[in-house]
Amino acid sequence: MLAILKREFKAYFTSPLGYVFLAIFYAFSGVFFWVFTLDMGSTDMSSVFLMMFLVLMVFVPLLTMRLLAEDKKQKTDQLTLTAPVSLLGIVMGKFLAAYLIFAIGVAVMPLYGFVMSTFADVSWLPIFGNTVGLLLLGGIFVAGGLFVSSLTENQMIAAIGSFFINLMVLLLDTLVSQIPSGIFRTALESISVYSRYAEITSGIFSLSSVIFFLSVIFIFLFLTVRVLEKKRWA
């Protein structure tokens, strides 16, 4: 797993992909930070975090699209799948490599807080909570993207597919609001990633949310392993 993690992580910086993603992340978060926090004369960063949902939704697929799709296309999966490594090891290596890049992006958020603290008193607890929330959200997008990447050998399809899944995640709430209340609505509401995330940015950091996010990540990783496993049997 470590060998794959290391290779994939390095690969982000031998192509422009890693740089582009980080640049986009820093640019958007910087603009939001300026517009919603500095310019408004507020120390509340929750709007910045909420807006990052949209940015990640669009750009995390950039990060995950090639993970497994390119392996299949270049037939390098014949190396990884015939090496003495478990499927879970392969999937985790790929997941963590992309996730690490994402986490390097997120690391800038507390830095903004630090910048603010030179001007005013900053309440660190919400910033910390929001950062953890963003890390969890990113986990879902990365795992989801990895899953889609395992389904195709075309990077563009992988990117568009995972963007589509992310869009569905966002639109689920709009859909839910149109459904009359009942079990079905409650069920859909409780799997809404967006409202869970909004809850965290608004300052409610509950254990159930954390478990929810981790479960979704786990499900996507599990499904990815199954896809690789299924490929052998096809």
Partner 1 sequence: MIEVKNLTKRYGAKLAVDNISFTAEESEILGFLGPNGAGKSTTMNILTGYLSSTEGQALINGIDILEDPVKAKALIGYLPEQPPLYLDMTVMEYLKFVYRLKKCKLPIASHLGEICELVKITEVKNRVIKNLSKGYKQRVGLAQALVGNPPVLILDEPTVGLDPKQIIEIRSLIKRLGKNHTVILSSHILPEVQAVCDKIVIINRGKIVANDNADKLVHNLSGDHKLTVRAEGNANDIKKLLSTIPDMRDVRINKENVEPGVSEFFLTANDGCDIRRDVSKRLASRNYPLLMMKSSELTLEEIFLKITTGDIYGHVDEDKDKNTNKKSSK
Binding residues for partner 1, rule: CB under 8 A, are: 2-4, 6-7, 10-11, 14-15, 74-86, 232-234
CB 173 within 8 A of CB 191: no
DSSP codes of every residue in 83-149? SS--HHHHHHHHHHHHHHHHHHHHTHHHHHHHHHHTTS---HHHHHHHHHHHHHHHHHHHHHHHHHH
Q: Smallest distance from the beta carbon of 80 to partner 1, in angstroms? A: 7
User: Cβ contacts of residue 10 below 8 Å, gap of 6+?
Assistant: none
Q: Smallest distance from the beta carbon of 72 to partner 1, in angstroms? A: 11
82 or 174: whose CB is closer to partner 1? 82
Using alpha carbons only, give the angle 150, 152, 155 rounded to the nearest 5 degrees. Answer: 100
Gap between the Cα atoms of 166 and 197, Å rounded: 13
CB 32 within 8 A of CB 47: yes
15 or 123: whose CB is closer to partner 1? 15
Task: Say whether 152 sits in a helix, a strand or coil.
Answer: coil
14 or 177: whose CB is closer to partner 1? 14
Q: Smallest distance from the beta carbon of 20 to partner 1, in angstroms? A: 15
Gap between the Cα atoms of 198 and 194, Å rounded: 6
Q: Smallest distance from the beta carbon of 141 to partner 1, in angstroms? A: 24
84 or 182: whose CB is closer to partner 1? 84
DSSP letter at 180 equals P
83 or 111: whose CB is closer to partner 1? 83
Q: Smallest distance from the beta carbon of 145 to partner 1, in angstroms? A: 20
10 or 190: whose CB is closer to partner 1? 10
88 or 198: whose CB is closer to partner 1? 88
Gap between the Cα atoms of 144 and 162, Å rounded: 7
Q: Smallest distance from the beta carbon of 103 to partner 1, in angstroms? A: 22
CB 91 within 8 A of CB 7: no
Q: Smallest distance from the beta carbon of 8 to partner 1, in angstroms? A: 10
